[in-house]
Structure 1
Amino acid sequence: MNLERARGEYLNYLAVERGSSENTIASYGRDLARYVAWLVERGVSDPEDVTRELVEAHIGALVEVGLAPASVEHAVSAIKGFHRFMVTDEICSAFPTSDLPLPAKPSHLPDVISVDDAERLLDQPFPSTPAGLRDHAMLEVLYGCGLRVSELCGLDQRAIQLEDGLLRVFGKGEKERVVPVLGAAAAALEDYLDRGRGALVGRRPTDAVFLNVRGGRISRQSVHATVEKYGRVAGLKGLHPHTLRHSFATHLLEGGADLRVVQELLGHANITTTQLYTHVDRSHIRRVYLAAHPRARE
């Protein structure tokens, strides 16, 4: 049985025995059609003649033409399943993908701003209006507490314990965590609650902390627009709320905070997610090394 016929058998197996969806079968069919055509162009049509080197060369070709990493991973999954099926169904004995790993996904490092940029952003003059006090408090809390936008928008007054310097935050999956609110973030939040929020409250009472001009809970879109606006004034074009969260984590780690503590503050279930924030600059690593290693300066 040649590769093209085996491909048809595999797709039929997915449909009949595995009950795969039409979309899955179609996408696997496209990946395997490209794979089989590539092999046939190189004179390989018998499943027994496919080698590990050929499989890896095909994957390399997909990367070279600029296929997205997720698309390459999907193609590799299809190829691995195809060869496993051929061995299991005794179409061939060659199994070139038996221990072939999925391609590693590139790590997308979070965008961060420097400490100087953060200070320039937060120390700029904010309007002394209710909305201006709110905007200042929002930016300070995003950077000072590492909140997600959804967490900031969902913050209620009963969750604020300024006397203890704490916020109760509900993150993904409604998981509750407690984060410190201290220093400039606490001062800006208290100022807004004392002098700004009351003027924004509408006719319908609400426990929401951050309000829009109509007295309702502020939206994610409004927070994004606010952060971008003040970022532009501070010379930080395209500033995103999540950048402030990333910067919060990175600056804590650069300041010597324990990774586990930062994980808890961010509300990450898995520490591998927090490790994305450990991209401290090399000068910081060098300073820590020089200060800590007993023979670094000899």
Structure 2
Amino acid sequence: MTLLEAWATDAKIRGMSPRTIRNYRYRIANFMRFLDDKDIFAVNKIDIRDFIEEARKKGHYTGSIAFSLASISNFYDWAIFEELTDKNPVKEVRSRYLHSYKKDNEKRDRQLISIKQAANMIDYMVDIRDKAMMTVLFKTGVRRNELLSMEVDDINWNDWSITLKPTAKRSNRVVFFDQEAATILSRWLAVREERNRDGIKALWISTIGRPATEKTVIYMISKAGIALGIHNPKSPKLEEHFSAHCCRHWFTTHLRRSGMPREFIQELRGDVRKEAIDIYDHIDREELRRSYLSHIPKLGIGAHEFTLNC
């Protein structure tokens, strides 16, 4: 078993999510490649400083470098526990050099596209499943893992809502969708019925009836984004990339711009309430639904096949 494999096994035992393990492992492996033939347990603070310098020369942002150092530091903490080394060279370097290397004008904003561009993304997609997935991302602001964990029975057609699976990051688990999303979802469910030969509960399945994966979403969004000129996978700049998380930014920003109360947006996002007034303020579900339907942007997609007493 390699060092990386041993670290990953321990990370899994400690309860680290598969996604986090994968991301950390990628960063640690990248650091090992940077070291070339040097023993990773012979690394000193100068090596870490050189690693930061090299990343900066490649155009990496401070946040990206900080995440790499957090991953590498996690590896060294594991190695100390396993008595493979007695020091973590990252900790004495991180606070000193990241702040001094950070550019004053550095900005790491996720890309925000227009309502028209969002509609164009959906129109570009051919498969009705992809259209439905993209519409739900824009209309609900859910995270990618929340989207992929949806099941058919999670949809409530009486009030156009979806109950999400419990996650550590989300407080409110109910999200709503509008008539446009309802139309596309219904069309997808009709096609899904033909594909679902094995009776799978997952809402999103492939042409052969298998549950959609992270790669499914990444490929779907990347392909459309590249074609429409809003995603550059080779760029080191975050604002030149478009991912599923950008839909969450789109959802939040356009609801605010349309005049939705901030506390309602926070509720729909599932943000944890921190202020005392937020904790004591009870938001009525029907009030929230009506506000959502009044403020969610219309993309100009779908037909009027459903009605709901609003």
User: Do 1:260 and 1:271's aligned partners in 2 also have CA atoms closer than 8 Å?
Assistant: no
Partner of 2:223: 229
Matches within 5 A, 1:100-249: 108-122=108-122, 124=123, 127=126, 132-170=127-165, 172-173=167-168, 175=170, 177-193=173-189, 195-202=190-197, 204-238=198-232, 239-249=242-252
Q: Does 1:265 align with 2:276?
A: no
Partner of 2:6: none
Letter in structure 1 aligned against 2:200: T
With over 3 angstroms needed to count, the CA separation of the structure-2 counterparts of 1:67 and 1:147, relative to structure 1, is closer
With over 3 angstroms needed to count, the CA separation of the structure-2 counterparts of 1:271 and 1:261, relative to structure 1, is farther
User: Do 1:169 and 1:178's aligned partners in 2 also have CA atoms closer than 8 Å?
Assistant: yes
Q: Report the secondary structure of 2:272's partner residue.
A: coil
* CA-CA distance at 1:228 after TM superposition: 2.2
* CA-CA distance at 1:155 after TM superposition: 0.3
Choose between structure 1 and 2 for higher RCO, CA contacts under 8 A separated by at least 6 residues: 2
Deviations 1:241-292 (A, max 9, x none): 22222211111111122232222222233779xxxxxxxxxxxxxxxxxxxx
With over 3 angstroms needed to count, the CA separation of the structure-2 counterparts of 1:205 and 1:235, relative to structure 1, is same
Query: Matches of 2:227 and 2:207 in 1, distance apart?
Result: 22
Query: Matches of 1:263 and 1:165 in 2, distance apart?
Result: 19
Structure 1: runs of 5+ lacking an equivalent: 1-22, 35-62, 82-96, 273-298
Query: Which structure has the greater CA radius of gyration?
Result: 1
Letter in structure 1 aligned against 2:202: A
With over 3 angstroms needed to count, the CA separation of the structure-2 counterparts of 1:165 and 1:67, relative to structure 1, is closer
Partner of 2:281: none
Letter in structure 2 aligned against 1:215: G
Deviations 1:17-61 (A, max 9, x none): xxxxxx8996568679x9xxxxxxxxxxxxxxxxxxxxxxxxxxx
- CA RMSD after TM alignment: 4.2
Deviations 1:83-137 (A, max 9, x none): xxxxxxxxxxxxxx9xxxx779866222111122112223x2654xxxx221111
Query: How does the TM-score come out when normalised to structure 1?
Result: 0.53
User: Do 1:263 and 1:271's aligned partners in 2 also have CA atoms closer than 8 Å?
Assistant: no
* CA-CA distance at 1:153 after TM superposition: 0.9
Query: Matches of 1:237 and 1:137 in 2, distance apart?
Result: 20
With over 3 angstroms needed to count, the CA separation of the structure-2 counterparts of 1:189 and 1:104, relative to structure 1, is farther
* CA-CA distance at 1:221 after TM superposition: 0.4
* CA-CA distance at 1:78 after TM superposition: 3.2
- The count of aligned residue pairs is 200
User: Do 2:124 and 2:224's aligned partners in 1 also have CA atoms closer than 8 Å?
Assistant: no
Query: Matches of 1:229 and 1:214 in 2, distance apart?
Result: 21
Query: Matches of 2:125 and 2:48 in 1, distance apart?
Result: 55
Query: Matches of 1:159 and 1:178 in 2, distance apart?
Result: 10
Query: Matches of 1:158 and 1:191 in 2, distance apart?
Result: 16
With over 3 angstroms needed to count, the CA separation of the structure-2 counterparts of 1:118 and 1:125, relative to structure 1, is closer
Partner of 1:256: 259
Query: How does the TM-score come out when normalised to structure 2?
Result: 0.51
With over 3 angstroms needed to count, the CA separation of the structure-2 counterparts of 1:31 and 1:221, relative to structure 1, is closer
User: Do 1:72 and 1:103's aligned partners in 2 also have CA atoms closer than 8 Å?
Assistant: no
Letter in structure 2 aligned against 1:169: L
